[in-house]
Structure 1
Amino acid sequence: MKAFKKRGALTHFQILSEISKQDPHLKQKDLAQKLGITIQAVSENIKTLIELGYITSKDGRSPYKITQKGIDKVKRDAISLRKYSDSVLETMNHYKTIWPAIAGEDLKKDQIVGLYMKDGILYAHHKEENATGIVLEDTEKDSDVALTNLTGLIDMTVGEATVINLPTIKEGGTNVADMNLIKDVYENGTKSGAKIDKIAVAGTISRVVANKLDLNVDIEFAAPQATANAARKGLNVLALCVGDMTKSFVRELESEKIKYNIIDGRK
């Protein structure tokens, strides 16, 4: 949008547009109110527009009249602005209406496919589901597929979070952590008995505990947010955190309305 790159160009366009409406009673204070700028700024811009030959005025006061040169400029700038707006809208429409998924099997262009969640990831296949989409291009199994016209609701159960609070290094760290308890929680699953899908750690002591118990860590950075996001996608998360870090997990989980259980991991 080259027409508006120069400083004040957009303000010039707005002032010229208002003057082009040929309102003989248009005052500088009216322009200031409409454009959300000061009367002084309007006065300075009008002076510039007069010097450039875009408008005429007697003694720099109303009534203002737009010249043919000014009309041509407004038309050029309006076309430039419209092209830019059209390109933005096209990008936004493309962004909003095309979604990625993993192809559960070979899919053909224009096929209507069922959508389902597995391990927190969206999949598409030929079977009937409550949610559907249309395939945009031929796609092989296990590849990413572009979908449009998504309709319906994707069947998905919100997961749970089990948060184990571990002692700080000042309190003894792993030396006073109840390793057997942590292992049992992992093996027995959530409070409702569902298996643990992902392990999250926050803090050095949490990482050491996971290493000692040979737990595969899935989430380590921005763990509270990632834990809530994973649970929202149907995954059950065991989160190991140290001291006051528990508060961050609670805030995120409550914000996302995720069921959670806090366990003291000290001996």
Structure 2
Amino acid sequence: MVDVLENKRAATRFRILVEIAERQPAVSQGEIAEAVGVTSQAVSEYIRELVEEGLVEKEGRSRYRVTKEGVDWVFQSASDVRRFVDHVTDDVLGSVQEDAAIAEADVEEGQTVSLSVAEGLLRAAPGDSGGATGVATTSAEAGAVVGVTGFEGVIALDPGHVSVVQVPPVRSGPVEETADIAAACEGASIVTAAGVEAVVALRDAGVEPTTYFAAGEVAADAAARGLDAVVVATQDTVGRVTDALRDASVDYDVTQ
């Protein structure tokens, strides 16, 4: 289990570090104690240990700052917690919740269905094909929406790949050659654009973007559903795009 969930002391250290980061550099130990639910004396002891370990540095009386090492520790712990929460919501609770799928053929309520993902959407076919299965909670004709619960097994799904193509910002002038952009988008299920320059570059290449809002997040979600995606982004915005892809643990590459 994640350390900050398994170990009460680690959880308290995590919360105190977060409180310091939020309030720095002027840090009231009393306010932190109230927020975390421990005594001021306990906060003082925790901070002393954090300073000794190099996770926090003291700049003066009641003035503290989280170090780079402290930020890294908080970030790693937060990432571990996020993965654990994803496991609980997707793998544990997902087996007891109801979800919607597209019926591949006529389905009767209470019937066992085989589950698959195609074009990024959950699909249900009557019977048990030996893979992931569920139980229909509604009846539906082929092509209609059917409710599914009682999930068992794992849906066979190869994650998609995201290609990030950089284009220059407006101050650097227009994109002169769009053939590479068109080639990168060929065969991609989802094409997103980050920045007005990216939208125009795509349209000059004869490609209409799927969306130009939350480009990185949309591409990450598509890849998680087994779709290949392309993000065309200005050099100013590519960092936000790759942050979203890294946060989602998506396989991606960046080209210019």
Q: Which bracket does the TM-score occupy, shorter chain normalised? A: 0.5 to 0.7
Partner of 2:170: helix, strand, or coil?
coil
Q: Are 1:103 and 2:103 matched, yes or no?
A: yes
In 1, are the aligned partners of 2:115 and 2:132 still within 8 Å (CA)? yes
In 2, are the aligned partners of 1:163 and 1:238 still within 8 Å (CA)? yes
In 1, are the aligned partners of 2:182 and 2:206 still within 8 Å (CA)? no
TM-score, structure 1 normalization = 0.58
Q: Structure 1 pair 94/172, CA: closer, same or farther in 2 (3 Å)?
A: closer
Partner of 2:144: 143
Partner of 2:173: 172
Q: Are 1:227 and 2:228 matched, yes or no?
A: no
User: Structure 2: which 5+ residue stretches go unaligned?
Assistant: 1-36, 38-92
Q: CA RMSD in A?
A: 2.0
Measured in 1, the distance between the counterparts of 2:181 and 2:94 equals: 47
Partner of 1:184: 183
In 1, are the aligned partners of 2:169 and 2:235 still within 8 Å (CA)? yes
In 1, are the aligned partners of 2:95 and 2:152 still within 8 Å (CA)? no
Q: Are 1:161 and 2:153 matched, yes or no?
A: no
Measured in 1, the distance between the counterparts of 2:251 and 2:149 equals: 32
Partner of 2:240: helix, strand, or coil?
helix
In 1, are the aligned partners of 2:111 and 2:136 still within 8 Å (CA)? yes
User: Structure 1: which 5+ residue stretches go unaligned?
Assistant: 1-35, 37-92, 188-194
TM-score, structure 2 normalization = 0.60
Measured in 1, the distance between the counterparts of 2:197 and 2:245 equals: 22
Q: Which has the larger radius of gyration?
A: 1
Measured in 2, the distance between the counterparts of 1:151 and 1:95 equals: 7
Displacement after TM superposition at 1:94 (Å)? 11
Displacement after TM superposition at 1:96 (Å)? 5.3
Partner of 2:124: helix, strand, or coil?
strand
Partner of 2:218: helix, strand, or coil?
helix
Measured in 1, the distance between the counterparts of 2:194 and 2:150 equals: 39
Give 2:114's aligned amino acid: G
In 2, are the aligned partners of 1:219 and 1:227 still within 8 Å (CA)? no
Partner of 2:118: 118
Partner of 1:116: helix, strand, or coil?
strand
Partner of 2:239: 247
Measured in 2, the distance between the counterparts of 1:125 and 1:234 equals: 19
Partner of 1:215: helix, strand, or coil?
coil
In 2, are the aligned partners of 1:116 and 1:129 still within 8 Å (CA)? no
Residues 206-225 of structure 1 aligned to structure 2 (within 5 Å): 206-225=198-217
Measured in 2, the distance between the counterparts of 1:262 and 1:173 equals: 20
Displacement after TM superposition at 1:249 (Å)? 1.5
User: Alpha-carbon deviations, 1:37-57, whole Å to 9, x = none?
Assistant: xxxxxxxxxxxxxxxxxxxxx
In 1, are the aligned partners of 2:164 and 2:230 still within 8 Å (CA)? yes
Displacement after TM superposition at 1:95 (Å)? 11
What is the aligned residue count? 164
In 1, are the aligned partners of 2:134 and 2:151 still within 8 Å (CA)? yes
In 1, are the aligned partners of 2:181 and 2:202 still within 8 Å (CA)? no
In 2, are the aligned partners of 1:115 and 1:129 still within 8 Å (CA)? no
Displacement after TM superposition at 1:251 (Å)? 1.0
User: Alpha-carbon deviations, 1:115-145, whole Å to 9, x = none?
Assistant: 0000111000025141101111210111110
Percent same amino acid at aligned positions? 24
Give 1:165's aligned amino acid: Q
